[in-house]
Amino acid sequence: MPTHSTRGETLLERLRRRYETTDTRCPECGFVDTEGNWTTQMDGLQVVYHHVCPSCGADRKHVFQLEK
């Protein structure tokens, strides 16, 4: 089912999905989070993807810089 939304949302969603599928393993305890509990936070032109391990609570983040 194709989802149509604005371009920005699509890009952000795609990035989040990428982290959810490629960065699922916690470096601290090795827990693999198949649920993909990444959250997205906008901060100006920065997008912060944040994940908290459901097993050990370690948090990780990726910062993505948007271009003007």
**Least distance from Zn ion to the Cβ atom of residue 56, Å:** 3
Nearer to Zn ion (CB atom), residue 21 or residue 55:
55
**Least distance from Zn ion to the Cβ atom of residue 60, Å:** 9
Residue of 43, 7, 8, 38 whose CA lies nearest to 20: 38
**Least distance from Zn ion to the Cβ atom of residue 55, Å:** 4
**Where does this chain bind Zn ion (CB under 5 A)?**
26, 28-29, 31, 53, 55-56, 58
Cβ atoms within 10 A of the Cβ of 53, count? Answer: 18
Q: What angle do CA 63, 4, 60 make, to 5 degrees?
A: 20
